[in-house]
Homo-oligomer: A and B are copies of this chain.
Amino acid sequence: MPGNSFGKMFRITTFGESHGPLIGVVVDGVPAGLPISEDDINFELSFRRPGYAYTSPRREQDRAKIVSGVFNGRTTGAPIAIVVENTDVDSSYYEKMKYTPRPGHADLPYIFRYGFENWDYRGGGRASGRETVARVAAGAIAKKLLMLLDTKVAGCVEAVDGTRIKEGITFEDVLKSRCRRFRACKEEYEVTFQKILEEAIKEGDSVGALVRVVVDGVPRGLGEPVFDKLKADLAKAVMSIPAVIGFELGIGFEAAYKRGSEVSDELIVVNGDIRWRNNFYGGIVGGISTGEQIVFRCVFKPTSSIRKPIKTVDIRTLEEKTIVVEGRHDPCIGIRGVAVVEAMTAITLVDHAIRSGLIPSTRLSQKDVDVVEDRWKRYREICQHGEGYQ
Contact = CB atoms under 8 A, between A and B. Distances in A.
A30 to B, nearest CB: 9
A74 B274 contact: no
A11 B1 contact: yes
Interface stretch (A21-29, A50-58, A186-194): A21-29
A255 B246 contact: yes
A302 interface: yes
Interface in A1-32: 1-11, 13-17, 20-22, 24, 26, 28-29, 32
Contacts of A26: 4, 13, 15, 24, 26
Most buried by B among A106, A246, A318, A363: A246
Nearest to A115: B363
Contacts of A310: 264, 266
Contact of A4 (B117, B227, B237): B227
A177 interface: no
A21 B235 contact: no
A118 B74 contact: yes
Interface of A is mostly: mixed
A71 interface: yes
Size bin of chain A's contact surface: 35 or more
Contact of A68 (B17, B229, B261, B291): B17
10 contacts: A2-B10, A2-B11, A4-B225, A33-B118, A74-B117, A161-B259, A231-B245, A247-B248, A255-B302, A357-B360
Given A15-B78, A274-B313, A103 B266 contact: yes
A383 interface: no
Nearest to A319: B269
Contacts of A276: 103
A362 B113 contact: yes
A20 B68 contact: yes
A338 interface: no
A373 to B, nearest CB: 14
A60 interface: no
Given A76-B118, A206-B261, A260-B306, 4 more contacts: A13-B13, A17-B69, A127-B287, A227-B240
Contacts of A224: 2-4
Contact of A33 (B117, B268, B303): B117
A236 interface: yes
Interface string A213-235: 00000001101111111011111
Contact of A105 (B13, B79, B285): B285
Contact of A288 (B112, B159, B162, B250): B112
Contacts of A245: 231, 248-252, 255, 281-282
